[in-house]
Amino acid sequence: MGDALRAAPSSAAFGAALVGEGLLVPMGVPGLYGRDERLEGIITGVDRLVLRAGAADGAEPLRFPPTIPRSVLERSDYLRSFPHLAGTVHGFAGGEPEHAALLDRLERGGRWWEGLPATEVVLTPAACYPVYPAISGTLPREGRLIDVCSDVFRHEPSDDPSRLQSFRMHEQVRAGTPEQCLAHRDRWVERGLALLQALDLPGEVQAANDPFFGRAGRMLASSQRERQLKLELMVPLGGVPTACASFNYHQDHFGSAFGIRTMRGVAHTACIGFGLERMALALLWRHGLKVERWPRPVRELIGA
């Protein structure tokens, strides 16, 4: 990293440096970027580390698209907790007269999209959402452990390069008894800290809360934090500690919503997730924008 950036460590200066260096390609909307081969190489390296650790636990990899059925959002309570972050997908369903009217609105610079009905799909809000309906029913005694990674969407336009509207999340989703879920979460908290050490990244684990909407949301957030249901791996990025991974114990929330059961009753679930772009940006922030000058052990681990 240049001395100028060290002297003025802000996310804006860091974002500008990433764009100037060609690692991020602005797309013209806040929070949407293309990534060049070097940045993609770092992201792929982090992705591989999470995949391998999951494989050591016997995780089953499944890959889902960046869209899920609208019904999954409806059943999961997402709209109660995070309406401001959701993205619904709408499509044209008319004939030629409606098409002519749409083009007419477009040409006048009007809201051509008004009245487009919602399709049956929405954008995936977190990589784990398609897992819960897929494992509905009674689990085997040992529970299930699924490795997922997908593009996810959060409608929160921002110029901060660490707050993207579309980013990749690699998760390990556990379903089973409360003990199985807590053991999974605790194992990954240890692993997350060990991974930071191996990557020569400073950081720590903290109790956290999801960005629940509104006044009722503030109470949910404070209860989640008190009960330590959400922990985050905070790593400096652009001058401020930034959540690069989270460790979440949902209790029976998804088990109830999607009919997931153990022999004893409603299954519990837990998921741990790494934000791949954030991990990559934290590495660039720590070790500099020239990957070839990174410490050799870090480069080897990332495969860059």
How many other C-beta atoms can be found within 10 angstroms of the C-beta atom of residue 111? 9
**Which tokens in the block code for residue 20?**
């100037």
Distance between first and last Cα of the chain: 17
Residue 86 contacts its own copies per CB under 8 A:
yes
Contact criterion met (CB below 8 Å) for 168 and 150: yes
Exactly one of 6, 10, 12, 83 binds its own copies (CB under 8 A); that residue is 83
The angle at the Cα of 250, spanning 201 to 173, to the nearest 5 degrees, equals 60
> Which residues have a Cβ under 8 Å from the Cβ of 242 and sit 6 or more positions away?
162, 234, 235, 236, 278, 282
Exactly one of 2, 20, 84, 300 binds its own copies (CB under 8 A); that residue is 84
Residue 163 contacts its own copies per CB under 8 A:
no
Q: Least separation, in Å, of the C-beta of 28 and its own copies?
A: 5
**Which tokens in the block code for residue 77?**
């309570």
Of residues 268, 251, 219, 257, the one with CA closest to residue 74? 257
> Which residues have a Cβ under 8 Å from the Cβ of 43 and sit 6 or more positions away?
35, 168, 276, 277, 279, 280
DSSP 218: H
Nearer to its own copies, 113 or 197 (CB): 113
Residue 295 contacts its own copies per CB under 8 A:
no
Contact criterion met (CB below 8 Å) for 268 and 179: no
Q: Least separation, in Å, of the C-beta of 147 and its own copies?
A: 9
Residue 78 contacts its own copies per CB under 8 A:
no
The pattern of x and - marking residues 259 through 278 that bind its own copies according to CB under 8 A reads --------------------
The pattern of x and - marking residues 135 through 154 that bind its own copies according to CB under 8 A reads ----------------x-x-
Contact criterion met (CB below 8 Å) for 287 and 300: no
How many other C-beta atoms can be found within 10 angstroms of the C-beta atom of residue 235? 24
Q: Least separation, in Å, of the C-beta of 234 and its own copies?
A: 25
Exactly one of 9, 66, 241, 288 binds its own copies (CB under 8 A); that residue is 66
Contact criterion met (CB below 8 Å) for 123 and 67: yes
Q: Least separation, in Å, of the C-beta of 235 and its own copies?
A: 22
Q: Least separation, in Å, of the C-beta of 1 and its own copies?
A: 23
How many other C-beta atoms can be found within 10 angstroms of the C-beta atom of residue 244? 29
Of residues 12, 41, 21, the one with CA closest to residue 301? 41
Residue 35 contacts its own copies per CB under 8 A:
yes
Exactly one of 88, 138, 223, 228 binds its own copies (CB under 8 A); that residue is 88
Residue 69 contacts its own copies per CB under 8 A:
yes
**Which tokens in the block code for residue 48?**
């591989």
Exactly one of 29, 194, 219, 240 binds its own copies (CB under 8 A); that residue is 29
Residue 72 contacts its own copies per CB under 8 A:
yes
**Which tokens in the block code for residue 123?**
């954008």
Q: Least separation, in Å, of the C-beta of 37 and its own copies?
A: 5
The pattern of x and - marking residues 200 through 219 that bind its own copies according to CB under 8 A reads -------------xxx----
Residues making contact with its own copies (CB under 8 A): 25, 27-29, 32-37, 40, 60-72, 74, 79-80, 83-84, 86-93, 95-96, 99, 102-103, 106, 111-113, 116, 118-121, 123, 130, 133-134, 151, 153, 155, 157, 164-167, 213-215
